[in-house]
Amino acid sequence: MRRQLGVALLLVLAGCNPGRTTAAFFYAQGRAQLEAGEYEAAVRSFTRALSLNPVLAVAFNDRGLAHYHLGQYQNALADLDSALHINHQLEASYNNRGLVRDALGDYRNAVADYDQALLLQAEDPLALNNRGLAKYHLHDDESALADFNRALQVRPGFVLARNNRGLVHLRQGQPDEALADLVLVYDQRGEYDSALAHGRWAQRLGRPSAIGFNNLGMAFFHLRQYDSALAYFDSSLARDPDLVLALSNRGIVNQQMGRTAAARHDLQAVVQMGTDPGLSADARRRLARLRP
């Protein structure tokens, strides 16, 4: 459920001397330290920058973010309030202040901050994910799902939003949807043992869907446990015989195991169905390489 943080862009300060004693220099130094995880040093650098330019909103924003990482939440709030007092259009500061309020358990005000961030940048997947997670803590599951779905429309590979959506599905007693999301998260990260552990947990909550069994099969495939992978692809196709993805995956596993006849049967079926051009093209290439 870890959030991804919004970070302000580096501001080019017009009219500043590029030397080593300017606000621009100390701000840039603080940014590098912040990105390196050197949060105490970053606070010092941003403080030097602000002593030279007290209205540098992005320095207040990024010092607030450093304080957040240090667990100094009241200092973080003070800095982010200052950033927004100087520049009320700074979307990152609304998002970051929402994160601080989340950490303090102030979820309703966190949602209000994310709302403001999204008014300024409606398609920000970070703010959408963060607002969804605050709503999850408020047990507003339907609104949380809407935010996670929207974040995934904007950024389809957004692992955090997919993971959080899976958690909502679990709480709602929807093991099919939870299994499809949570197993895919770990599979995308290459954490296949975790995918299996999480997938089996969701599986125990109810009867998984065809795509859920397909995803479990893929986790076993990456672990080279081919017999188990085949069993899950079989279960997937028993629930949906027309799931071309599971049919293709089973054909690939059969090919990997040297089961030529079974592989040819599955891959030919993928080509004949013709519902997914990419999978059909891959199946044709694999069929051409199969021995008679």
Averaged pLDDT, groups of 10, the chain, 292 residues long: 48 44 93 94 97 97 95 96 97 95 93 97 93 92 95 85 78 69 56 51 55 70 74 83 87 87 91 85 86 66
Global pTM reads 0.63
Structure-token pair, residue 10: 């580096």
pLDDT of residue 205: 45
Tell me, what DSSP letter sits at residue 5? P
Amino acid type, 213? F
pLDDT of residue 32: 95
pLDDT of residue 92: 95
Residue with tokens 């059969």: 254
